[in-house]
Structure 1
Amino acid sequence: MRTEITHVDPAYRTYADFYMRSAYGAFPQQHRHIQGSMRSSLILVEQSRHEFVDPAVDELVVSTPLDAACSYDWNMGSGWTSGQSRTGDLIIVPPGTDSRWRAGGDRRLIILAIPTALVSQLLGPDCPADLAATFAPLGGSSGNDAFVNAVLRRLWENSGEDEPINRSLADRLVEALVCHLVMRAGTVTPKLAPGPFSLREWRKLEDYVDAHLHRDILLLDLADIVGWSVRHFSRMFRQATGKTPHDWIVAKRVGRSKDLLGKEKLSLAEIALCCGFADQSHFTTSFRKATGMTPLRWRRGRV
């Protein structure tokens, strides 16, 4: 799902672009990109007293003060809110949201800008249509959040090292951060990937299997999706889900067959073929094992 943000300021491609070209450019700052497959921008900035207006951008902007003890006010369209800017606070600007800021003193922050396309990719089918509304409960300062503070610090440290292990770590940190924020906002409960799989890897596995249920699905193909050996994939899959890959695929085939039994006027043999079972007998045996009844009895019960 692609979440559309329709009121983004066209003058700036990204928040990092705005930060360098606006009045914020007067502040000492460093810019980095996360070294992973999920491109996001990082800014380390030393701010002083100011009152600025930030335009809406097509990104989720997350920040945390590293050093701060000053008055702090923000306005995201519903009036000014006042507070104290403190080390470790969580500060959020939802996508497509204009904001005003007043800082009464010096503070040093790490800022992460995550493209909405990436947020949508991470949340997959669970992604709401309105990401601005999803993150609105966290708009401005939400108080201390040790997890976000630790993740942003680690992302900054990690961003200077372009090694495969660092790219993999960066991907997982961004995934964990997005899920944490969505759950903290309390508007969506995202599906989490099991065990050692990242959300991106697990979604690729599910998408592949869902698209190929009508065909033979080889264990080698699944292992290749996540870049593991067949032996390691099988072991990690069983450890993470409590099922073998074969059992997981069969469960998906049965789930697909239920949809067809309930919605389509297809024969049992046709459904067996559509769902990748060897024949109607194999379909019936697998369905009974999973549900305790035959496909025909299940269909009759749905009428």
Structure 2
Amino acid sequence: MSSASHDVTLQSWQGVKISYHSIPPYEFQDYVAPLYSIDVNLSSSYHLEWKKGGRYQRTQMITGALCIMPAHEPLSMRWSSNLENLVADLSPSLILSTADDLKVRGEVEIRESHGQVDAQISHICQALWAECKAGYPTGRVFGESLGVALAACLLQRHGTQATTTPSGQLSPRKWKQVADFIEDNLEENIPLEELAQIVGLSPFYFTRCFKATIGTTPHQYIISRRVERARHLLSRPEASPTQVALQCGFSHQSHLTRHMKQLLGVTPASLIPRKTVSKNVL
């Protein structure tokens, strides 16, 4: 599918990509997409015509309304207005692995739908876009966690099969393996999938088990450990907040400052001991 559109596509995570599109009036017939797509309408209200069962249907798309389009199925649409859309693309492999964790019975199928408003799905898409525009300050694990959550929402709310949610905790041995890996790699951009592979779980199930074990998400835990390491490094008089931020895995000092104020209520500079100047008394 192509059109005279203005597109902005930023770096994708494992299984999920977020992009912005400004599109003029357009029509396409029997387009088969390789990915599952969620379009969030950022424009004012307009009318979308889309084909179902060989006949066009007309749907009003208000601001925030979603277009949910399955992969590998012919899609036909047309509209006569200029549009602005936020588009999240999910890979079939992410959908399948999440469906397996949710214990979806039978074949995985996402229904095509247009015009629905789903605040949670829109919020996740907006969070992915905000992370991109900020330059990925929180690393891969945050974006990939959002991608897994987006896939779960699609299956639970727009799939054809009922799902059951798994529960369980990581064993003490597996938890130690994960915690040690995080501690040894705090300065790195840690992928969620890599953490999950340590204990032989999918990203979705790993995230659920992780939170059930310690009461917080992998992303939140990594941030807290980075802040704690930064607090320790800033206890030296020669410490530089900029260097400490980079050593602890923050892409910029401002990100360290924001998270430290949220978690500890102080700024990095306030933790650095003042150098004392000795005076010689004659």
State the TM-score, normalized to the length of structure 2: 0.57
- Equivalent residue, structure 2, for 1:219: 172
- Equivalent residue, structure 2, for 1:135: 110
Superposition pairs of residues 63-212 of structure 1, within 5 angstroms: 63-124=39-100, 126-127=103-104, 130-131=107-108, 134-136=109-111, 139-161=112-134, 163=136, 165-185=138-158, 187-192=160-165
TM-fit CA distance, 1:114: 0.5
Aligned AA for 1:168? V
Equivalent position SS for 2:42: strand
Q: Structure 2, unaligned stretches of length 5 or more?
A: 184-208, 217-282
Aligned AA for 2:2? A
Q: Which of the two has higher C-alpha Rg?
A: 1
> Among 16, 24, 28, which residue is 1:40 paired with?
16
Q: Distance in 1 between matches of 2:105 and 2:28?
A: 30
Change (3 A) 1:224 1:142: farther
Change (3 A) 1:235 1:23: closer
TM-fit CA distance, 1:185: 2.4
Q: Distance in 2 between matches of 1:30 and 1:44?
A: 5
TM-fit CA distance, 1:106: 1.4
Change (3 A) 1:29 1:124: same
Superposition pairs of residues 249-260 of structure 1, within 5 angstroms: none
TM-fit CA distance, 1:140: 3.0
TM-fit CA distance, 1:39: 3.1
Q: Distance in 1 between matches of 2:210 and 2:21?
A: 45
TM-fit CA distance, 1:75: 1.2
- Equivalent residue, structure 1, for 2:2: 23
Report the structure, 1 or 2, having the larger helix content.
1
Change (3 A) 1:47 1:161: same
Q: Distance in 2 between matches of 1:79 and 1:128?
A: 31
Aligned-pair Cα RMSD in Å: 3.1
CA displacement, residues 259-279 of structure 1 (integer Å, 9 cap, x when unaligned):
xxxxxxxxxxxxxxxxxxxxx
Q: Distance in 2 between matches of 1:140 and 1:46?
A: 21
TM-fit CA distance, 1:160: 4.0
- Count of residue correspondences: 189
Change (3 A) 1:111 1:76: farther
Change (3 A) 1:189 1:28: same
Q: Structure 1, unaligned stretches of length 5 or more?
A: 1-21, 206-217, 241-303
TM-fit CA distance, 1:162: 5.5
Aligned AA for 2:177? D
Change (3 A) 1:59 1:186: closer
CA displacement, residues 91-141 of structure 1 (integer Å, 9 cap, x when unaligned):
11112111111112112001111110111112225245533xx212xx130
State the TM-score, normalized to the length of structure 1: 0.54
